[in-house]
Amino acid sequence: MRYLPLTPDDRTAMLAAIGAKSVDDLFVDVPAAARRDGFVDLPRVAGELEVERALSALAAKNTPAGSVPFFCGAGAYKHHVPATVDHIIQRSEFLTSYTPYQPEIAQGTLQVLFEFQSQVAALTGMDVANASLYDGSTAMAEAVQMACRVTRRNKAVISGGVHPHYVRSTETVVHAVGIETVRQQIAVDAEADVIPAIDKDTACVVVQTPNVFGTATDVAKIAEAAQAAGALLVVVVTEAVSLGLLKSPGEMGADIVAAEGQSIGNALNFGGPYVGLFACREKLVRQMPGRLCGETVDADGERGFVLTLSTREQHIRRDKATSNICTNSGLCCLAFSIHMSLLGEAGLRRLARLNHQQALKVRDAVAALPGVEVLTPRFFNEFAVRLPVNAAEAVERMAEGGVLGGVPFSRLEPGAGMDDVLLICATEVTSDDDIAILAKALGAVL
């Protein structure tokens, strides 16, 4: 087996050094009833070529986003990732290292984390960011729990514009710990509806902007209302590139930001691995979940970086930890950080405007189709339309014609009475030709 360096002679010599007759002697502690002698019923060893053939055959049954006109968003976005990003993250020193438990020989990873935290804080307009969580949805669940710790209250008011999968992921976890959630009526443009729902038991208000329908909202008034009631404002962002064009959550008064960072540096990957961005105001930092990297000096006074404030974490605090999270999303946050360094502020702003421009073009093209009503009033790179037909069926029929024309809202929330709503997204990879093809394909299924 190509990954196993020991030879039969090595094994014999090593068993002799141990004083064992056979490798079975090393498994004596396994109860006899649970020992298995033969091989389990699965295929045997396979060469690279065989594995590559088998997996390539599976991959060939999928339609890659880059192979067709593509308009799906709703929490995962198709962007161009510079070649440099994938090259660097495959360097052995990043790919095959682990959590920087020994900072003297992990300064590469640690400095990247420090830069990542600094970038995320700037991007979100917040004071501090952690070294990432699993993804945006789990970041939202952590944010709600953190808000409850901070305020010692037990209720979260969730806007009807928050991505339904985020809501479901959050509710699953927080209901288990007895946190109540009050979700507002699903609506395209009604974030302010959360305000009357805030009361003295409210730990936090969760709003998403741009929301799942693409609607961008200034949440400053919501922040004021929440904070006046002693609650925190959690802002969810699923499209990180939007922050190159839209006012940041920090500028609008957010206390905690839970965002998905996939858009920058990371491929679609059928939903994972992604990278959860998590940022908050300085005074809340000791209630933050997840890893934090901080600056310090070494014995010679040289600047260096270490994991810090670990007394919040499970390996020190065990059942008193702020979260059970153990890893971060290391390689994905490296990819994010490299891509962000390549973009810089100038590149990010231009990228964001390009996304916006292409989305406006798509809107104009589909708005001209008979019976199509654009629902989203203000958006970054995605918007919702009402079709005169069932959206899921329209999407299936467009797919048969080689166009991935968007995400039917019913895929996220069946039974919301929005079976005719289609979410359409454009990014910098969307060409003008793609837009013309979409308009034709959508027109043909109406």
Residue 152 binds to another protein (criterion: CB under 8 A): no
For residues 262 and 138, the answer to whether their CB atoms sit within 8 Å is: no
Convert residues 384-403 into a mask of x (bound to another protein by CB under 8 A) and - (unbound): -----------xx--x----
Residue 283 binds to another protein (criterion: CB under 8 A): no
The binder of another protein chosen from 168, 199, 371, 431 (CB under 8 A):
168
C-alpha–C-alpha distance, residues 142 and 124, integer Å: 17
Q: Which of residues 184-213 bind another protein (CB under 8 A)?
A: none
Q: How far is the CB of 106 from another protein (least distance, A)?
A: 6
- Please tell me the count of residues contacting another protein according to CB under 8 A: 206
C-alpha–C-alpha distance, residues 189 and 186, integer Å: 9
For residues 327 and 403, the answer to whether their CB atoms sit within 8 Å is: no
Residue 445 binds to another protein (criterion: CB under 8 A): no
Q: Which of residues 310-349 bind another protein (CB under 8 A)?
A: 310-311, 313-321, 323-332, 334, 338, 340-349
Kindly give the pairing relationship between strand 421-425 and strand 382-386: antiparallel
The binder of another protein chosen from 79, 153, 155, 163 (CB under 8 A):
163
C-alpha–C-alpha distance, residues 335 and 87, integer Å: 10
Residue 247 binds to another protein (criterion: CB under 8 A): yes
Ramachandran angles phi, psi of 182, nearest 5° = -120, 110
Residue 46 binds to another protein (criterion: CB under 8 A): yes
For residues 137 and 161, the answer to whether their CB atoms sit within 8 Å is: no
Kindly give the pairing relationship between strand 382-386 and strand 256-260: unpaired
- Per-residue exposure over 245-271, b if at least 16 CB sit within 10 Å of its own CB, e if not: bbebbbebbbbbbbbbbbbbbbbbeee
The binder of another protein chosen from 258, 404, 424, 441 (CB under 8 A):
404
Residue 165 binds to another protein (criterion: CB under 8 A): yes
* Residue type at position 90: Q
Q: How far does CA 329 lie from the centroid of its chain?
A: 10
- Per-residue exposure over 146-173, b if at least 16 CB sit within 10 Å of its own CB, e if not: bbbebbebebbbbbbbbbbbbbebbbeb
C-alpha–C-alpha distance, residues 211 and 205, integer Å: 14
C-alpha–C-alpha distance, residues 80 and 265, integer Å: 8
Q: How far is the CB of 86 from another protein (least distance, A)?
A: 8
The binder of another protein chosen from 196, 283, 295, 431 (CB under 8 A):
295
- The answer to whether the peptide bond before residue 210 is cis (omega within 30 degrees of 0) is yes
Q: Which of residues 112-151 bind another protein (CB under 8 A)?
A: 112, 114-115, 117-119, 121-123, 127-129, 131-132, 134-138
The binder of another protein chosen from 79, 109, 234, 376 (CB under 8 A):
109
Convert residues 5-24 into a mask of x (bound to another protein by CB under 8 A) and - (unbound): xxx--xx-xxx-xxxx--x-
Q: How far is the CB of 241 from another protein (least distance, A)?
A: 12
Q: Which of residues 215-234 bind another protein (CB under 8 A)?
A: 216-218
Q: Which H helix or E strand runs over 393?
A: helix 391-400
Q: How far is the CB of 199 from another protein (least distance, A)?
A: 23
Q: How far is the CB of 373 from another protein (least distance, A)?
A: 19
Q: How far is the CB of 155 from another protein (least distance, A)?
A: 16
Q: Which of residues 343-372 bind another protein (CB under 8 A)?
A: 343-354, 356-357, 360
Q: How far is the CB of 147 from another protein (least distance, A)?
A: 15
Decide whether 342 or 389 has the Cβ nearer to another protein.
Answer: 342
Tell me the window of 103-111, 146-154, 188-196, 431-439 that interacts with another protein (CB under 8 A): 103-111
Q: Which H helix or E strand runs over 182?
A: strand 180-183
Residue 78 binds to another protein (criterion: CB under 8 A): yes
Decide whether 199 or 305 has the Cβ nearer to another protein.
Answer: 305
Residue 285 buriedness (CB in 10 A; 0-12 / 13-18 / 19+):
middle
Decide whether 5 or 370 has the Cβ nearer to another protein.
Answer: 5
Decide whether 7 or 185 has the Cβ nearer to another protein.
Answer: 7
- The answer to whether the peptide bond before residue 69 is cis (omega within 30 degrees of 0) is no
- The answer to whether the peptide bond before residue 64 is cis (omega within 30 degrees of 0) is no
Kindly give the pairing relationship between strand 232-237 and strand 256-260: parallel
Tell me the window of 29-37, 152-160, 191-199, 382-390 that interacts with another protein (CB under 8 A): 29-37
For residues 355 and 341, the answer to whether their CB atoms sit within 8 Å is: no
